[in-house]
Amino acid sequence: MQAIHLNNKRAVVTGAASGIGLAIAQTFAQNGASVVLLDLDEAKTSAAAKAIGPAATALACDVTSESSVAAAFTQIATPIDILVNCAGIAHVGSLQSTTPADFDRLYSVNVRGTYLSMKAAIDAMVAAKRGVILNIASIAATCGIADRFAYSMTKGAVLSMTLSVAKDYIGHGIRCNCISPARVHTPFVDGYLAKNYPGREAEQMQALAHSQPIGRMGTPDEIATFALYLCSDAASFLTGCDYPIDGGFFNLR
């Protein structure tokens, strides 16, 4: 059996200052990779890299800005072996309640940000004739979820871009997959509950947890462990796939 590690690999993780992105950066560093953390909040990103240790470095980056992304990737020495697109924002709302400003904001981060980061990394990967791109999508990309109109739109786009990149670059030695989590307990969830259900956070946390048939939310570390496998050489036969990690949400509801 092939060992799962990222020894001598260089990884870039967007949205790496907290939540799933931070867990992925930590897990990659613990398993042999040198990791560049990209996030909008410079202080928070630097603190996260410092906590991970010498295998991690931090760069402030606004993934919605072409110039910011280009500047960040210019600073990152090639080759880039792995790119994980984890930067993203959420939104609660139906078609009627989603404003054009909401729609544009979600698109800018979740879709444009993923596109710009992949575009910034792909030339070096093509030149090296190797590389792995892993995008974080969502079960919302393929499963109807109430009041997630704009969010679902963006994650559907992430899934479609994943398949397109996998098809176009398979002949260049580049693999591209995506992970589609169900609900994962991140700081966003805590903030959402505090804002919308003050005094009822525990009750609503249970409701969210039990929307997964397995009876709980996922953890960032569980997503990170799966990401480690998909980005390792042990998964060298896997490309062009969307992998739900959802506690049975998609098939067992």
Q: Is 151 a catalytic residue?
A: yes
Q: Select from 250, 24, 249, 54 the least CA-distant residue to 135.
A: 24
Which residue, chain included where needed, has tokens 């090296």? 128
Helices (H) and strands (E) in the chain, counts: 10, 7
Q: Reduced to 3 states, what is the DSSP secondary structure of residue 225?
A: helix
117: CB partners within 8 A, 6+ apart = 12, 14, 38, 63, 69, 73, 83, 85, 87
Out of 115, 151, 229, 243, which one is annotated catalytic?
A: 151
Q: Where are the alpha helices (DSSP H) in the chain?
A: 19-30, 42-52, 66-75, 100-106, 113-128, 149-169, 187-196, 201-209, 220-231, 249-252
240: CB partners within 8 A, 6+ apart = 162, 163, 166, 167, 170, 176, 177
Give the Cβ contact number of residue 121 at 10 Å: 24
CB 65 within 8 A of CB 40: no
Catalytic residues: 151
